[in-house]
Amino acid sequence: MTLTPAALDRYARTYYLSDAVDDIDIEERAQRLSAPRIAAAAGDARRVLDMGYGTGEMAAELLGRGMQAEVVEGSPLLAARARDAHPGLVVHEAMFEDFDPGPVYDAVLALHVMEHVDSPSSLMERVRGWLAPGGALVVVVPNRESLHRRLAVRMGLQDRLDTLSARDGLVGHLRVYGFDTLADDLAAAGFDVEDRFGFTLKCVPNAMMLDWPPALMEALTGISPELPPALLANIGVRAVPRA
């Protein structure tokens, strides 16, 4: 699918805004519960850019912390929803590749971006030019080494840890990452990783978790700091431009 504003609107209607996606509550609960950890990775940043609005969990966290939060969103439909939901949020309606704010941000959040784009290193190199001196990039991606993927390989349900599932195709994933490949792509963009983290213990695919009680679902994210990040469903890093 060619990424255009119209294509992003279609994706928004079929995923973020669709009642037919059974597992979106699972994903959004994990995002909501992990938002404080992600915001903490931005450090003492004041002016923060979130790449993509989604359902607004991260925007709400940033605004709630008193940060000067901004979003760049290529979907006109999601950009309008962001403005309606958060009057204090600055919303830039633009494709990432066309956005050119200059070096103005203390932190940029690329949350579930790099797995969707054709050339993640090229995009992150562009993002490097958006950071003010001393700024940092916070990235979150799906983890190829997640416990549920390890179990799938052990059971013969997929060939390799990085095999893309039907759900990966549904949500537009072109790849999944490990800490090694994530660091490689960021290094190619001129970044050095200085911190890493993960969130949500995922033992089985989302389709098998639909009836799990909310308390259990919350515990699977809440337990994240006690576990090795490489076992968790999502991995994240804080990276800084190479000197």
The confidence score (pLDDT) of residue 122 equals 97
CATH number, domain at 76?
A: 3.40.50.150
Which of 56, 60, 47, 59 minimizes the C-alpha distance to 77?
A: 56
Which of 229, 137, 214 minimizes the C-alpha distance to 180?
A: 229
Which of 122, 165, 124, 125 minimizes the C-alpha distance to 144?
A: 165
Question: What does the alpha-carbon distance between residue 229 and residue 232 come to, in Å, rounded to a whole number?
Answer: 5
Q: How many domains does the chain have?
A: 1
Structure tokens at 211: 């009836």
Least confident of 17-26, 50-59, 187-196, 231-240: 17-26
Phi, psi of 142 (to 5 degrees): -70, 145
The confidence score (pLDDT) of residue 2 equals 64
User: Rounded mean pLDDT of 151-157?
Assistant: 95
What does 58-79 look like in DSSP terms, one character per residue? HHHHHHHTT-EEEEEES-HHHH
Higher-pLDDT residue of 173 and 104 is 104
pTM above 0.75, yes or no: yes
List, for residues 119-141, the tens digit of each pLDDT value. Answer: 999 999 999 999 999 999 999 99
Residue 69 CB neighbour total at 10 angstroms: 25
Question: What does the alpha-carbon distance between residue 183 and residue 186 come to, in Å, rounded to a whole number?
Answer: 5
Domain carrying residue 53: 5-241
